[in-house]
Amino acid sequence: MCIRLITPLSRSSVLCSFSRIMAIRQSSDMSKFKEALKAAQDIVILSGAGISAESGIPTFRGAGGFWRKFQASALATPGAFKTSPSLVWEFYHYRREVATKAQPNAGHKAIAKFEAKYGKMKKITVITQNVDGLHIRAGSKNLIELHGNLFKTRCTKCKEVLTNYDNPICEALAGRGAPDEKAVAEDIPEQALPHCRRYSCGGLLRPHIVWFGENLDYEVLQRAEEAISSCDMCLVVGTSSVVYPAAMFAPQAADRGAIVAEFNIEPTPATPNFHFYFPGECGKTLPLALSE
């Protein structure tokens, strides 16, 4: 198929042409990507564990998927918290400490810089599956955190959600949470764990994280779906596209004609459905892709 440009095209025409061409053949052509990005007016950046892994945040899958002898995902459940809130809080105290010590990498910073520079001219939305807060620390403003945030708590009684950067979050957790599989879990009494400070409440606090077996917050999910349904370009950054519903966001955008570019260490099952694929660390590929 040959397309001849006779007269200058509008932004929408440029994006439509790119979509038709790239749906036939995937590209790693950075100059073509930048041309499409320049034409786009409504951009969604969907990030996952891969970008945070480059800052030293362990992932739930692969080598970083275990804490002590436990599969990390087995502790991120309502059942685990009900059975052993002490053990779950030890695990999350460890995760909070890791996230506190980690620093936003060049990928996080490139996204924030792009948003700061073009946010008044384009609609730019960052949707992240990560809970470490690194996008916030890098400077991203229009951010949707699908799965919550390690530095927020939710009261199991009154449901109040508050930001909390205390370290440790309670004295009983000081010095706890070592990932060594030989470490002995302390059965911390429930009354010594974090509790709501709201007058007359005093309910047990839990991490404000969407755990396995729980639904995403309706308003958060609605905001994400609205962003995906309106974007004309979507960047998939460091996500394996296997956790639903986020796994469907980029394919849905591609199906309705939006241009989708993937930035990942290696291809994923969804890669063949996208228009661009750039292999490598996000901290190396994103600064180049999002610069002028």
Each residue's pLDDT tens digit, 144-203: 999 999 999 999 999 999 999 999 999 999 999 888 888 877 789 999 999 999 988 999
Contact between 278 and 263 under an 8 Å Cβ cutoff? The reply is yes
Rg (CA), the chain: 21
For residue range 162-171, list pLDDT tens digits in order. Answer: 999 999 999 9
**pLDDT surpassing 60 at residue 87:** yes
Report which of 258, 151, 269 is spatially closest to residue 209, judged by C-alpha positions.
151
The percent of residues above 90 in pLDDT, for the chain, comes to 74
Return d(Cα 74, Cα 80) in angstroms, integer.
7
Q: What top-level class would CATH report for the domain 58-101+149-209?
A: alpha beta
DSSP state, residue 56: T
Answer yes or no: is 228 a known binding residue.
Answer: no
Return d(Cα 42, Cα 85) in angstroms, integer.
42
Answer yes or no: is 131 a known binding residue.
Answer: yes
Q: Residue range 4-29: average pLDDT?
A: 47
For residue range 239-257, list pLDDT tens digits in order. Answer: 876 677 788 999 999 999 9
> In the chain, count of helices (H) and strands (E)?
11, 11
Answer yes or no: is 139 a known binding residue.
Answer: no
In sequence order, the 6+-apart residues with CB closer than 8 A to the CB of 263 are 235, 236, 237, 238, 278, 280, 282, 285, 286, 289
Inter-axis angle of helices 30-39 and 11-24, to 10 degrees? 140
Q: Is 147 a catalytic residue?
A: yes
Strand (E) positions, 56-155? 66-67, 70-71, 123-128, 143-145, 148-155
Question: Do the domains at 1-57+105-147+218-292 and 58-101+149-209 have one common CATH topology?
Answer: no
In sequence order, the 6+-apart residues with CB closer than 8 A to the CB of 173 are 89, 90, 93, 188, 193
For 15, 85, 170, 218, the CA distances from 173, given in Å and listed in that order, are: 52, 12, 6, 32
**pLDDT surpassing 90 at residue 109:** yes
Answer yes or no: is 155 a known binding residue.
Answer: yes
What pLDDT is attached to residue 106? 98
Which residues are paired to 143 by β-bridges? 126
What pLDDT is attached to residue 183? 81
Contact between 1 and 24 under an 8 Å Cβ cutoff? The reply is yes
Predicted structure pTM score: 0.88
**pLDDT surpassing 90 at residue 9:** no
Token representation of residue 49: 């564990």
Catalytic residue among 135, 147, 208, 275: 147
Answer yes or no: is 65 a known binding residue.
Answer: yes
Q: Residue range 90-99: average pLDDT?
A: 96
The average confidence (pLDDT) of the chain is 89
For residue range 269-284, list pLDDT tens digits in order. Answer: 888 889 999 999 999 9
The CATH architecture assigned to 1-57+105-147+218-292 reads 3-Layer(aba) Sandwich (3.40)
Answer yes or no: is 2 a known binding residue.
Answer: no
Q: Residue range 90-106: average pLDDT?
A: 96
Report which of 262, 216, 214 is spatially closest to residue 239, judged by C-alpha positions.
262
> Would you kindly state where each structural domain of the chain is located, as residue ranges?
1-57+105-147+218-292, 58-101+149-209
| Helix, coil or strand: residue 99 | helix
237: left (phi over 0), alpha (psi -120 to 50) or beta: beta
**pLDDT surpassing 60 at residue 3:** no
Answer yes or no: is 239 a known binding residue.
Answer: yes
What pLDDT is attached to residue 184? 76
Q: How confident is the model at residue 62 (pLDDT cuts 50, 70, 90)?
A: low
Q: How confident is the model at residue 258 (pLDDT cuts 50, 70, 90)?
A: very high
